[in-house]
Amino acid sequence: MAEGQRPEIEWRDGGVPVATRFDDPYFSLGDGLAETRHVFLAGNDLPGRFRPGFHIAELGFGTGLNMLAALIAWRGADVGGALRYTSFEAFPMAPGDVATALDAFPEARAVAEPFLEAWARGDRRFAIDGIEVEVILGDARATLPGWGGQADAWFLDGFSPAKNPELWGAELMAEVARHTAPGGSAATYTAAGFVRRGLAAAGFAVERRPGFGRKRHMTVARLEHSG
Ligand SMILES: C[S@@+](CC[C@H](N)C(=O)[O-])C[C@H]1O[C@@H](n2cnc3c(N)ncnc32)[C@H](O)[C@@H]1O
């Protein structure tokens, strides 16, 4: 598949990558790894729900930090086999930028080498110890409808809804629901009303939970079991 357009990155506050096109950071200016754990892992009740064959999907692969946090959690949970991780990304970061970004998180960086090697080779589908990753390139609004998978947990991690509204629209949330296994879940750092309404309209039971750091609220969504 054709490589997407590379994002133009600016480094702010001593090492936080910011996508110029969206004027928004890839992770929080504070502790991005702790935020990932709070929002995406705990928000999806992970690692408690991990079981063999568990499948995470993500909107916005970015630096791969969320993927590495999930891998660390999976290894710690000792479920066996491989976690499946599918991520949708329109603007894949240059390998050098990914490595520089991850340098800010020694714990993630310590397990990142096989991923960085695969990414530098241009692999968008790779298996490393404990995880099978596929990054689907292109605008998620175009690629998700044709995806054949269903995730047990979604990480909704576009740039802020104000700056990247195309990754949070009601139609895309309906596609997220359509690609969620019964009883599956989604979590995001935002509590924006239009995102919560889109998730509810798509059939999720939507709940607000305390956000990370200075963010008051975040959103978790659970798809009710359907017969
Ligand atoms: C906040 S960053 C994701 C951070 C990432 N999860 C991580 O662990 O580093 C948002 C990502 O969404 C991607 N993105 C923005 N619009 C998109 C679209 N329409 N389709 C797919 N990806 C998109 C951006 O290129 C960026 O990588």
Residue that the structure tokens 């690629």 belong to: 143
- What are the backbone angles phi and psi of residue 134, rounded to the nearest 5°? -130, 125
Domain annotation covers residue 137: yes
Domain annotation covers residue 4: no
Domain annotation covers residue 2: no
- Give the count of domains, the chain: 1
In this predicted structure, what is the pLDDT of residue 227?
A: 43
Q: State the residue range of the domain holding 144.
A: 9-223
In this predicted structure, what is the pLDDT of residue 146?
A: 98
In this predicted structure, what is the pLDDT of residue 180?
A: 98
- Tell me the β-bridge partners of 10: 18
Span from the CA of 61 to the centroid of ligand 1 (angstroms): 5
Q: Please report, for the domain that includes residue 99, its CATH number.
A: 3.40.50.150
Separation CA 158–CA 27 (nearest Å): 10
Domain annotation covers residue 20: yes
Span from the CA of 227 to the centroid of ligand 1 (angstroms): 33
Separation CA 100–CA 138 (nearest Å): 23
Domain annotation covers residue 67: yes
Closest C-alpha residue for ligand 1 atom 10: 158
| Full pLDDT tens readout for the chain, 227 residues | 456 689 999 999 878 999 999 999 999 867 899 999 999 999 999 999 999 999 999 999 999 999 999 999 999 998 989 999 999 999 999 999 999 999 999 999 999 999 999 999 999 999 999 999 999 999 999 999 999 999 999 999 999 999 999 999 999 999 999 999 999 999 999 999 999 999 999 999 999 999 998 889 999 999 986 54
In this predicted structure, what is the pLDDT of residue 226?
A: 56
Ligand 1 atom nearest residue 7's Cα:
25
Domain annotation covers residue 1: no
pTM higher than 0.95 for the full model?
Answer: yes
In this predicted structure, what is the pLDDT of residue 1?
A: 45
Separation CA 68–CA 65 (nearest Å): 5
Angle in degrees, 0-180, between the axes of helices 170-178 and 193-201, rounded to the nearest 10: 40
Q: Are 189 and 207 in contact (CB under 8 A)?
A: no
**Ligand 1 pocket test, candidate residues 109, 156, 167, most atoms within 8 A of CB:** 167
- Tell me the β-bridge partners of 205: 222
For residue 81, the one-letter residue type is: G
Domain annotation covers residue 3: no
In this predicted structure, what is the pLDDT of residue 225?
A: 61
